[in-house]
Amino acid sequence: TKWVYTFGDGKAEGAAGMKNLLGGKGANLAEMSNLGLPVPPGFTITTGVCTYYYANGNAYPPELAAEVDAALAHVGTLAGRRFGDDANPLLVSVRSGARASMPGMMDTVLNLGLNDVTVAAVATAAGDERFAYDSYRRFIQMYSDVVMGIDHHHFEEILQNYKDDNGYSLDTDLIADDWKTVIGKYKAMVETEAGKPFPQDAHEQLWGAIGAVFGSWMNARAITYRRLHDIPESWGTAVNIQAMVFGNMGETSATGVAFTRNPSTGDKRLYGEFLVNAQGEDVVAGIRTPQDLTEVARIEAGSERPSLEAVMPEAFREFVAICDTLEAHYRDMQDVEFTIERGKLWMLQTRSGKRTTKAALKVAVDMCGEGLITRDEAILRIEPGGLDQLLHPTIDPAAERVLVAKGLPASPGAASGEVVFNSEDAVAAKQAGRRVILVRIETSPEDIHGMHAAEGILTTRGGMTSHAAVVARGMGKPCVSGAGSIRVDYAAETLTSGGITLKKGDIVTIDGASGQVLKGRVPMLQPELSGDFAKLMEWADASRRMAVRTNAETPADARVAVRFGAEGIGLSRTEHMFFDEGRIVAVREMILADDEKGRRQALAKLLPMQRADFVELFEIMHGLPVTIRLLDPPLHEFLPKTEEEIAEVAKGLGVHPQKLRERADELHEFNPMLGFRGCRLAINYPEIAEMQARAIFEAAVEAGRKTGRPVVPEVMVPLVAMRQEFDLVKARIDAMAAAVAKEKGTTIDYSVGTMIELPRACLMAGQIAETAEFFSFGTNDLTQTTYGLSRDDAAQFLGPYLQRGILEQDPFVSLDQAGVGELVRIAVERGRAVRPKIKLGICGEHGGDPASIRFCESVGLDYVSCSPFRVPIARLAAAQASI
Ligand code: PEP
Ligand code: MG
């Protein structure tokens, strides 16, 4: 096995396609080298070494040391220096690089190879003593922090004390001799804290850094991140070691980051930031506020500080040309890092840029227009779940605003919530069901869980590429970063700006589109679904095979779903209509009735209300198919539970509380999910099914006359296990259809089908299909009954199952394709064998989950049905599944 791959000087042993072995960063460094772009020479230690390391008790492959030495020599030759040499030392950077970019791992050690001797050689070679000692102190701090585990506050304290003692205010006030003194103090402190001196040997330094990268693959933050992003542990990370280039060699040096298009909006304009005389990490760390790359951006931002275009025009032009080359080559928007060392441009990284969904849509539609990608590729570029971001509300332009501060519009959408100042408070509030805005001076990977819990993120420091901005965009959460006028006092838990002070718990609104921070809760508007979104969805609709319906029973839900492109209703849960005010009384009367006659009297009160519900639903759906399910839940769900409720309801109904209590006791079930529910109700109380059927058919006739479009209702029977059950209920429905048709003097077109949500129904699907005209897979109940675990109580033990890797995903969220999916497959086959044209759909929660939708496509379902807000996601996922 080859463990090390070199790159540099227009050649590389790797290439972009080798991400699994070289990690994303390593593969792209190789690719850029192959393209002849200016990349500092270096080499990548493969992810295979990481796997080996963990499989062999943290030991390296025996050949690794020799391969690293050879690669170091090769890099030294290209750079004209030698690693570990006292007189002409090669300095390197060491960075982790997994297949997917992964915050939370050891990130970077710069300037490795510096020690008490080589620092002097570097000073001489650079002709700049201050630069050399500044680099050395940065190296000691970074290395001690990430490799030796010494917290940076130790270093900050030493530096701050030194500055105070000498009357300095800025780091740039320190001259070379100052840094020498500070370095002495740093080294003494490291020796005390670590119990051993700071390593002076370059090879010892290097292997320490390599070990830290591999070790960080298993740190808690990396593990959490992998779990949240479904990244398998087995992937491992690579390590990239590269000759240093310096952005901090004075005023003709700089370092920066850029996106080839705007990652927030997708606009086709170079977008980025840089700092003169700085090292890479300074830009993202948010210690100094960076400058704009282009003149246009600088003017737009109204910034006084000059752009890169103005201060280093030649390097800028070369950089623009390289960005164009990279976009054309990768056929995607790139996120790049660069350094300019004394006027010479070096590329340090390129990768496909993270972007908001809004930007993703614009970039995909634009690139299709530019001829860079096909329509199918454009469709495949959009992550369906991300469409959710577009459904975010925005601040009503007419709303009154009390401006607290203004920062950068780092991630779009608006959100309101209580102010909290740390991630623990954010998580606690979220668990208590409250909405919060996480306010930090700046965020770090330690804040990921808090950012997840928050509705939005506000920072007072850092640019558009700061940690907070990048992570928030990835999460699709609103973020305002760098709101510099805000003073945060962590101890007092307050923020102050422009004479306004907000305490922890006060409500704030952030607008990630404008960067505004507003006092209180501000009214919001629902989003407009046009432009690039509409275009891409049109393409998706044209290339998908499955139809997308919605689960809806209220008029409001149905309207939203139609606006989002639903092509019908796949499940209308009629029981939800029973809970409405004015109805629940009649429902309870029905339940309390002593005989059929009493029940029919109560049902007669429900009939007009239920009919009106259906008329409205049919009208909204305007001729699109509507599936209405007969009553499903056990009757006790409609009765009061506590003594207080019982007393109150009894009074309202005019019955004795004792009677209510007795009926509730009679209806009590040990396991209601497997109890007196579904078609078992319709078989034992046929009058309930009859009332519902009458309401459906009368409504169909009425809505058909009103809209001028025939309504063809699909009546659905829940929880069928046997064909006989279905047949009994179907006979009642058919009889009612005939009766209503006769009464109205018309014919009624309709179909009767069943939920397939029990394992027996899947197995007996052939028999059931003899009489059922459609199947709708109720994968919620099917998952529950296949696993034998209750969907209401599962959270308690599913959590630990997920953490321990027993389950990869919650089977109630993403369909268990191997088990539950096998039952679906069997039912599809057996159903179709008997009735080739049988209509097949899914209406469990899985109908809105992209991975489950892919499965539905693979077994050839006719449609998926999901909650209204997931309809766009399902439309796109269905298209991707059929490409
Ligand atoms: C199902 O079981 O998947 C289903 C859609 O029905 P409900 O969630 O109402 O039980
Ligand atoms: Mg069900």
Question: Over the stretch 314-323, which tens digit does the pLDDT of each residue have?
Answer: 999 999 999 9
pLDDT confidence of residue 286: 59
Token pair for residue 280? 């890479």
Residue nearest (by alpha carbon) to ligand 1 atom 1 = 778
Q: pLDDT category, 813, cuts 50, 70, 90? A: confident
Spacing, Cα 51 to ligand 1 middle (Å): 43
> Which residues are 569's β-sheet partners?
550, 626
Spacing, Cα 115 to ligand 2 middle (Å): 68
Q: pLDDT category, 787, cuts 50, 70, 90? A: very high
More confident residue, 553 or 350: 350
Distance CA 241, CA 236 (A): 17
pLDDT confidence of residue 429: 92
Q: 4-243 adopts what CATH topology?
A: Dna Ligase; domain 1 (3.30.1490)
Say how many CA atoms lie within 13 Å of 171 toward its Cβ.
Answer: 17
pLDDT confidence of residue 444: 80
Q: Which atom of ligand 1 is nearest to the CA of 781?
A: 2
pLDDT confidence of residue 792: 72
The pLDDT of 335-358, averaged and rounded, is 94
Ligand 1 binding pocket includes 844 (Cβ within 6 Å)? yes
Spacing, Cα 863 to ligand 1 middle (Å): 16
Residues in the chain: 883
Spacing, Cα 755 to ligand 1 middle (Å): 9
CATH number, domain 398-525: 3.50.30.10
* Number of C-beta neighbours around residue 677 at 10 A: 21
Burial class (CB in 10 A: 0-12, 13-18, 19+), 826: middle
C-alpha distances in Å from residue 591, one per residue of 100, 288, 597, 637, 712: 57, 70, 12, 11, 31
Amino acid at 857: E
By DSSP bridging, strand 507-511 and strand 524-525 are unpaired
pLDDT confidence of residue 798: 80
Does 383 score more than 80 pLDDT? yes
Ligand 1 binding pocket includes 781 (Cβ within 6 Å)? yes
Catalytic residues: 467, 843
Does 404 score more than 80 pLDDT? yes
Q: Is 778 annotated as a binding residue?
A: yes
Spacing, Cα 783 to ligand 2 middle (Å): 10
Residues with C-beta atoms within 5 A of ion ligand 2:
757, 778, 781
Q: Is 443 annotated as a binding residue?
A: no
Q: Directed axis angle between helix 47-55 and helix 202-216, to 10°?
A: 80
Distance CA 528, CA 862 (A): 29
Does 284 score more than 70 pLDDT? no
Ligand 1 binding pocket includes 843 (Cβ within 6 Å)? yes
Q: Which atom of ligand 1 is nearest to the CA of 780?
A: 3
C-alpha distances in Å from residue 370, one per residue of 125, 252, 320, 332, 365: 48, 36, 18, 12, 9
Spacing, Cα 857 to ligand 2 middle (Å): 21
Choose among 714, 791, 706, 727: nearest CA to 757: 791
Contact indicator for 530, 513 with CB cutoff of 8 Å: no
Does 658 score more than 70 pLDDT? yes
Q: Is 599 annotated as a binding residue?
A: no
pLDDT confidence of residue 361: 96
Contact indicator for 14, 30 with CB cutoff of 8 Å: yes
Contact indicator for 17, 27 with CB cutoff of 8 Å: yes
Token pair for residue 227? 């779990």
Ligand 1 binding pocket includes 312 (Cβ within 6 Å)? no
| Percentage of the residues of the chain whose pLDDT score is greater than 70 | 99
Within the chain, all domains assigned CATH 3.30.470.20 are found at 254-355
Ligand 1 binding pocket includes 573 (Cβ within 6 Å)? yes
More confident residue, 452 or 65: 65
pLDDT confidence of residue 106: 75
Q: Which ligand is nearest to the CA of 815?
A: 1
The helix (run of H) or strand (run of E) holding residue 621 is: helix 596-621
Residue range 149-199, pLDDT digits in tens: 999 899 999 999 999 999 998 888 899 999 999 999 999 999 999 999 999
Residue nearest (by alpha carbon) to ligand 1 atom 9 = 573
The pLDDT of 752-772, averaged and rounded, is 98
| Runs of H (alpha helix) within 294-441 | 295-301, 308-311, 313-330, 357-369, 375-381, 423-431
Q: What single-letter DSSP state applies at residue 173?
A: G
| Percentage of the residues of the chain whose pLDDT score is greater than 90 | 76
Q: pLDDT category, 465, cuts 50, 70, 90? A: low
Within the chain, all domains assigned CATH 3.50.30.10 are found at 398-525
Least confident of 163-167, 795-799, 873-877: 795-799
In sequence order, what are the residues at sequence separation of 6 or more whose Cβ sits closer than 8 angstroms to the Cβ of residue 663?
Answer: 591, 592, 639
pLDDT confidence of residue 133: 96
Within the chain, all domains assigned CATH 3.30.1490.20 are found at 4-243
Amino acid at 418: E
Amino acid at 448: I
Q: Is 847 annotated as a binding residue?
A: no
The pLDDT of 872-878, averaged and rounded, is 97
Ligand 1 binding pocket includes 758 (Cβ within 6 Å)? no
| Runs of H (alpha helix) within 167-264 | 176-194, 202-216, 220-228
Ligand 1 binding pocket includes 779 (Cβ within 6 Å)? yes
pLDDT confidence of residue 376: 97
CATH number, domain 254-355: 3.30.470.20
Least confident of 255-264, 407-416, 853-862, 870-879: 407-416
| Runs of H (alpha helix) within 195-343 | 202-216, 220-228, 281-285, 295-301, 308-311, 313-330
Distance CA 667, CA 679 (A): 16
Contact indicator for 501, 493 with CB cutoff of 8 Å: no
Provide the edge-to-edge strand list for the sheet that holds 344-352.
291-292, 271-276, 254-259, 334-341, 344-352
The pLDDT of 89-102, averaged and rounded, is 93
Q: Which atom of ligand 1 is nearest to the CA of 843?
A: 5
Least confident of 15-19, 523-527, 535-539, 732-736: 523-527
pLDDT confidence of residue 795: 66
Residue nearest (by alpha carbon) to ligand 1 atom 3 = 778
pLDDT confidence of residue 425: 94
Q: Which ligand is nearest to the CA of 844?
A: 1
Q: pLDDT category, 882, cuts 50, 70, 90? A: very high
Q: In 3-state terms, what secondary structure has residue 536? A: helix
Q: Is 224 annotated as a binding residue?
A: no
Residue nearest (by alpha carbon) to ligand 1 atom 6 = 778
Ligand 1 binding pocket includes 439 (Cβ within 6 Å)? no
Give just the sign of the alpha carbon dihedral 685, 691, 696, 701: positive
Best of 550, 569, 573 for a ligand 1 pocket test (most atoms within 8 Å of beta carbon): 573
Residue with token string 């007996």? 764
Contact indicator for 856, 865 with CB cutoff of 8 Å: no
pLDDT confidence of residue 285: 62
Distance CA 846, CA 850 (A): 8
More confident residue, 191 or 282: 191
pLDDT confidence of residue 474: 62
Choose among 458, 366, 477: nearest CA to 414: 477
Q: Is 780 annotated as a binding residue?
A: yes
Best of 843, 856, 863 for a ligand 1 pocket test (most atoms within 8 Å of beta carbon): 843
Choose among 332, 334, 335: nearest CA to 368: 332
Spacing, Cα 585 to ligand 2 middle (Å): 25
Residue with token string 């005389």? 277
Distance CA 293, CA 315 (A): 11
Residue nearest (by alpha carbon) to ligand 1 atom 4 = 778
Q: pLDDT category, 637, cuts 50, 70, 90? A: confident
Ligand 1 binding pocket includes 571 (Cβ within 6 Å)? yes
Does 386 score more than 90 pLDDT? no
pLDDT confidence of residue 94: 97
Q: Which atom of ligand 1 is nearest to the CA of 632?
A: 9
Q: Is 629 annotated as a binding residue?
A: yes
Distance CA 312, CA 360 (A): 31
Spacing, Cα 450 to ligand 1 middle (Å): 33
Best of 780, 786, 820, 856 for a ligand 1 pocket test (most atoms within 8 Å of beta carbon): 780
Q: Which ligand is nearest to the CA of 842?
A: 1
What is the average pLDDT value for the chain, to the nearest integer? 93
Does 30 score more than 80 pLDDT? yes
pLDDT confidence of residue 641: 81
Buried b / exposed e along 283-300 (16+ C-beta atoms within 10 A): bbbbebbbbbbbeebbee
The pLDDT of 472-495, averaged and rounded, is 88
Q: What single-letter DSSP state applies at residue 234?
A: G
Spacing, Cα 781 to ligand 2 middle (Å): 5
CA triplet 224, 229, 233: central angle to 5 degrees?
A: 65
Contact indicator for 517, 405 with CB cutoff of 8 Å: yes
pLDDT confidence of residue 408: 85
Does 476 score more than 80 pLDDT? no
Best of 551, 679, 755, 777 for a ligand 1 pocket test (most atoms within 8 Å of beta carbon): 755
Residue range 605-626, pLDDT digits in tens: 999 999 999 999 999 999 999 9
